[in-house]
Amino acid sequence: MKKKLSKILFLALVVVGIFILLNLSVTTRQGIDYKVRTIKIPLYLKTLDFIDRYYNYRELVKRIAQGTNNDEEEVMRIFNWTHSNIRRAPKELPVIDDHVWHIIVRGYGVNDQFHDVFTALCNIDGMDAFFSKVYTEDKSDAILLSFVKIRRKWYVFDAYRGVYFKDKQGRLADVGSKNEWLTASLDGQTAINYDPYLSNLPAIKSIGLSRSSTQSPINRLLFELKKKLR
């Protein structure tokens, strides 16, 4: 009888502990027109929202990549989908920055948000991807470019302008073949000269965890643990 009561008491304490833990107050951040505010929400709600977004990402990527035969095709499908489904933010609407999934739902974004969507979906599809500023050699100007790793090689995309790069054989050009790059555009137009930026690409070694790669549960957990240990 005492053992049964002890088990019941233990289970009750576990349930109460979980209830208290899930109701702890945590924060999320939202930027509106580049003014960031911190919002308090219970841990259970933040967790449920994250899981909901993750499975929505997975289903979306599955639909986009359906029928492809290799990683290059999958990346180009994601690139095309981003270009076709995310529009440039209308000037009369606020610039909202909170979660990558919300950019997809809204269907519009500013420069970095195009790269956000593209690289996040590539990560969900199992390929390392991130975006970064790339400067001219004299540091007088910079643009954002997305980088995707396909079979140990890095490829470059301008998700905002719908521009990618091919070699002389018409294949996607990796970073190692930058002297032979030809510019290609999903719209058939190239708005800027990429040569000053491509000639000064950074060496890509370890990219670590970023917003693009922390949309999956394991990477997010690792990211949060690293933050706590700083």
CA distance 112 to 117: 9
CATH code where residue 117 lies: 3.10.620
Q: What predicted TM-score, i.e. pTM, was given to this entire model?
A: 0.86
For 137, phi and psi rounded to 5 degrees? Answer: -60, -35
CA distance 155 to 159: 12
How many domains in the chain? 1
CA distance 112 to 131: 8
> What range does the domain containing 110 cover?
2-229
Q: What does the pLDDT profile of the chain (230 residues) look like in tens digits?
A: 666 666 666 666 666 666 676 677 777 788 787 888 888 888 888 888 889 999 999 999 999 999 998 999 999 999 999 999 999 998 888 888 888 999 999 999 999 999 999 999 999 999 999 999 999 988 889 999 999 999 889 999 999 999 999 888 888 888 877 667 888 998 877 778 998 998 888 778 767 777 777 777 777 777 666 666 66
- What residue spans of 86-175 are helical by DSSP H? 100-106, 111-124
129, two tokens: 């991807």
